[in-house]
């Protein structure tokens, strides 16, 4: 049940026994930024936002809401792209004030934090003790750890360090009925039954509210080397990836696909960006090596590998950044593609994954199907090719009516998602399901697996008070 105006005053009194007055928010101007995420495709509604400061308050809130059948939408930094944190009349439960770093144990290579900690805050705290937290995404200055875990965030370092799921040692979770599951152990090995913490990773706040997490840390990175390479063709992207892995060992940390159309978008609309090379081909990659040793090993290894790749005609031209400004320029190109695609007359975003070996054929066949559906359409496939995650965004033909293009959204999505499925891939690689991809869940998810998910939801949250209507 959603909270209505008549119930609001009564619930404000009840919540005032749990929270400070300033943590009970009804002012619509204050709530407004929490009603849509950064994509802005969906606008929600809520008449009440709560900002608890500890797990006990979260527990009491959920106990009351469960008793009264009042639905709650948990929210972190609200930086998602599938509307998983957008309310539709439900109470917003913002964890932004639960932002303490509980402990750092350098010798255990672990850090324990509250879920409202900003990702960059955790990165900085690790650096202060000569450790490294590897999750790196575009919103790291505003997204929260709880949201990162709830969406199983990915980013540019998954190739070496894995998704957020791989970086979590333990969790503290408040269940829908208010019970607190305390499993904040920082153990690498714990074979004592079911790994219950994994239920909540990628669950998008539908099974419980994450209030704290113990996370893995790694040795401090002392040296990073970044390169931009233009390739013979699309197939060479996978051949070069294999070469880099074979030659570099554990040095390779990022491998990002940059199509020429993406580079053109960045150079045309980005702020004072320059092409790293003069001979730009249709398909290009950003390569990053990272090393815990402060020497020239990474640089020399990348130089030698690229020289070999040029000799084998995999790479046509390449440049290794020789300064911080050059490195920043390369990564700003990657970021600018995301920011400026709408300037091509609009865009339809897709976040898909396929087996790495299938990426070239997937891109070719999907492009062909899109062009057959809408001649002149401009696909912009880019991103984490090293782990098979492609952001296959689609822009309209030149001078095409933007409203008419938006009307093709469902058909274009079906082409991209359907083809990803054909290649044994996923329609939701790292951004989750939320509200946006519920139809695809019903169509492409294994029936038994989907029913198991529904059964788990019904068991943990029989009254459906946590983030209702999301995922399925």
Per-residue model confidence (pLDDT) at position 1: 66
Q: Are residues 189 and 227 in the same domain?
A: no
Q: Answer yes or no: do 210 and 237 share one domain.
A: no
The residue from 219, 240, 265 where one domain ends is 219
Name the percent of the chain lying above pLDDT 90: 85
Rounded mean pLDDT of 73-81? 91
Q: Which positions ≥6 away from 249 have C-beta within 8 Å?
A: none
Residues 335 and 250 in one domain: yes
Confidence (pLDDT) at 80: 86
Residue 370 has pLDDT above 80, yes or no: yes
Looking up residue 305, the CATH number of its domain turns out to be: 3.30.70.2190
Q: How many domains does the chain have?
A: 4
Query: What range does the domain containing 411 cover?
Result: 345-430
Question: Cα separations (Å) of 366 from 198, 284, 412?
Answer: 33, 19, 10
468 within a domain of the structure (yes/no): no
pLDDT at 441 over 80: yes
Q: Are residues 174 and 142 both part of a single domain?
A: yes
Looking up residue 420, the CATH number of its domain turns out to be 3.30.70.2740
pLDDT top residue among 145 and 188: 145
- Are residues 49 and 156 part of one domain? no
Please report where in the chains the tokens 């802005």 appear, as a residue.
40
Higher-pLDDT residue of 318, 17? 318
Kindly state whether residue 460 falls inside one of the protein's structural domains: no
Residue 173: name the closest of 184, 165, 181 by CA.
181
User: pLDDT at residue 37 above 90?
Assistant: no
| Mean pLDDT, all residues of the chain | 94
Taking 90 as the threshold, does the pLDDT of residue 27 lie above it?
yes
Rounded to whole angstroms, the Cα distance separating 265 from 288 reads 22
Whether residue 235 is found in the same domain as residue 335: yes
223: phi then psi, degrees, rounded to nearest 5 = -150, 130
What CATH number did the domain enclosing 56 receive?
A: 3.30.43.10
Which among 195, 219, 243 is the end of a domain? 219
Query: Are the C-beta atoms of residues 445 and 378 closer than 8 Å to each other?
Result: no
CATH number of the domain within which 120 lies:
3.30.465.10
- Are residues 324 and 262 both part of a single domain? yes
268 and 359 co-located in one domain: no
- Quote the pLDDT of residue 296: 85
CA angle 220, 257, 354 (to 5 degrees): 95
Average pLDDT of 86-101? 96
Q: What pTM was computed for the model?
A: 0.92
**Within-domain flag for 451:** no
Structure tokens at 414: 């079906």
Answer whether residue 385 is part of any domain. Answer: yes
Q: What is d(CA 236, CA 240) in angstroms, rounded to the nearest whole number? A: 6
Domain shared by 281 and 205, yes or no: no
Confidence at residue 149, expressed as pLDDT on a 0 to 100 scale: 96
Q: How far is CA 309 from the centre of its chain?
A: 31
pLDDT at 12: 81
Let me know if residue 150 belongs to a domain. Answer: yes
267 in any annotated domain: yes
Final residue belonging to a domain, choices 341, 370, 391: 341
Say how far residue 60 (Cα) sits from the centre of its chain.
30
Residues 106 and 213 in one domain: yes
Looking from the CA of 332 toward its CB, the CA atoms found within 13 Å total: 16
Tell me, yes or no, whether 444 lies in a domain.
no
Q: Are residues 353 and 331 in the same domain?
A: no
Q: 368 and 286 in one domain?
A: no
Q: Percentage of the chain with pLDDT > 70?
A: 100
Asked if residue 462 belongs to a domain, the reply is no
Query: How confident is residue 13, by pLDDT bands cut at 50, 70 and 90?
Result: confident
């Amino acid at each position: 049940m959603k909270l209505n105006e008549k119930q609001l005053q009564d619930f404000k009194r009840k919540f005032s026994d749990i929270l400070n007055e300033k943590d009970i928010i009804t002012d619509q101007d204050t709530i407004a930024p929490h009603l849509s995420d950064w994509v802005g495709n969906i606008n929600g509604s809520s008449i009440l936002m709560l900002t608890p400061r500890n797990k006990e308050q979260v527990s009491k809130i959920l106990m009351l809401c469960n008793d009264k059948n009042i639905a709650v939408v948990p929210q972190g930094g609200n930086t998602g792209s599938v509307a998983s944190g957008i309310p539709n009349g439900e109470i917003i439960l913002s964890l932004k004030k639960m932002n303490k770093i509980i402990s750092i144990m350098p010798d255990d290579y672990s850090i324990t934090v509250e879920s409202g900690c900003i990702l960059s805050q955790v990165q900085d705290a690790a650096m202060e003790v000569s450790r490294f937290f590897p999750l790196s995404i575009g919103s790291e200055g505003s997204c929260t750890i709880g949201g990162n875990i709830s969406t199983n965030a990915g980013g540019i370092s998954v190739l070496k360090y894995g998704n957020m799921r791989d970086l979590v040692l333990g969790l503290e979770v408040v269940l829908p009925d208010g019970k607190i599951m305390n499993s904040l152990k920082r153990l690498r090995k714990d074979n004592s039954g079911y790994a219950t913490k994994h239920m909540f990773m990628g669950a998008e706040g539908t099974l419980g509210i994450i209030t704290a997490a113990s996370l893995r840390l790694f040795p401090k990175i002392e040296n990073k080397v970044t390169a931009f390479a233009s390739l013979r063709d699309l197939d060479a992207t996978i051949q070069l990836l294999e070469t880099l892995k074979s030659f570099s060992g554990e040095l390779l940390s990022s491998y990002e696909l940059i199509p020429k159309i993406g580079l053109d978008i960045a150079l045309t609309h980005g702020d004072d960006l320059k092409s790293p090379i003069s001979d730009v081909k249709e398909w290009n990659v950003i390569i990053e090596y990272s090393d815990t040793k402060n020497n020239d090993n990474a640089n020399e290894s990348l130089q030698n590998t690229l020289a070999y790749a040029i000799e084998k005609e995999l790479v046509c031209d390449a440049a290794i950044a020789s300064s911080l400004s050059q490195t920043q320029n390369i990564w700003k190109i990657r970021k600018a593609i995301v920011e400026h695609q709408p300037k091509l007359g609009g865009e339809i975003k897709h976040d898909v994954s396929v087996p790495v070996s299938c990426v070239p054929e997937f891109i070719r066949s999907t492009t062909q199907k899109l062009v057959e559906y809408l001649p002149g359409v401009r696909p912009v496939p880019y991103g984490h090719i090293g782990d098979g995650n492609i952001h296959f965004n689609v822009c309209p033909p030149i001078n095409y009516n933007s409203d008419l293009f938006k009307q093709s959204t469902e058909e274009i999505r079906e082409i991209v998602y359907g083809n990803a499925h054909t290649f044994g891939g996923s329609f939701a690689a790292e951004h989750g399901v939320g509200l946006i991809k519920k139809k695809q869940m019903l169509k492409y998810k294994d029936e038994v697996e989907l029913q198991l998910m529904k059964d788990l939801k019904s068991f943990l949250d029989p009254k459906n008070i946590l983030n209702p209507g999301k995922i399925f």
